[in-house]
């Protein structure tokens, strides 16, 4: 079952509706294990700090919108560059040149 997949659970932690769920904090910390080329080892401590700050930050104008628009808003705050980089990497999908040919 796909919902039991630990990678998908970790990715679901990026959903803004899940921001205050404490269990997802650990999932967000695991994201660099799955996507190892986004956050370097030297940035891991700063990434963890960003996650904690993000979880505790009060966004005054929270609205329900798509995850990509929410991440753009977070990126524009410039407070969470590593988290924004991780979200961007997970929300953009490289599909390669052969995908169009298979249609």
* Nearest-angstrom CA–CA distance, 44 and 42: 6
* Listed residue (95, 56, 61, 64) closest to 76, CA to CA: 61
Under the banding of pLDDT at 50, 70 and 90, the label for residue 94 is: low
**Residue 97: per-residue pLDDT:** 63
With beta carbons less than 8 A apart as the criterion, state whether 19 and 1 touch: no
Do 87 and 54 form a contact (C-beta atoms < 8 A)? no
CA geometry: angle 23, 26, 4, nearest 5 deg: 70
**pLDDT tens readout for residues 16-54:** 777 777 777 888 899 999 888 899 999 999 999 998 888
User: What's the pTM value of the predicted model, to 2 decimals?
Assistant: 0.75
Q: For tokens 């695991």, what's the residue?
A: 30
Neighbours of 101 (CB within 10 A): 7
Q: Which helix (H) or strand (E) holds 47?
A: helix 44-56
């Amino acid at each position: 079952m796909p919902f039991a997949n630990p990678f998908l659970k970790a990715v679901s932690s990026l959903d803004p509706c899940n921001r205050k769920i404490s269990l997802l904090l650990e999932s967000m910390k695991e994201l660099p294990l799955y996507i190892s080329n986004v956050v370097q080892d030297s940035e891991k401590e700063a990434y963890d700090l960003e996650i904690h700050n993000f979880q505790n930050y009060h966004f005054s104008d929270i609205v329900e919108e798509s995850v990509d628009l929410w991440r753009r808003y977070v990126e524009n705050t410039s407070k969470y560059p590593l988290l924004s980089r991780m979200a961007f990497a997970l929300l953009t999908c490289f599909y390669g040149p052969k995908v169009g040919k298979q249609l």
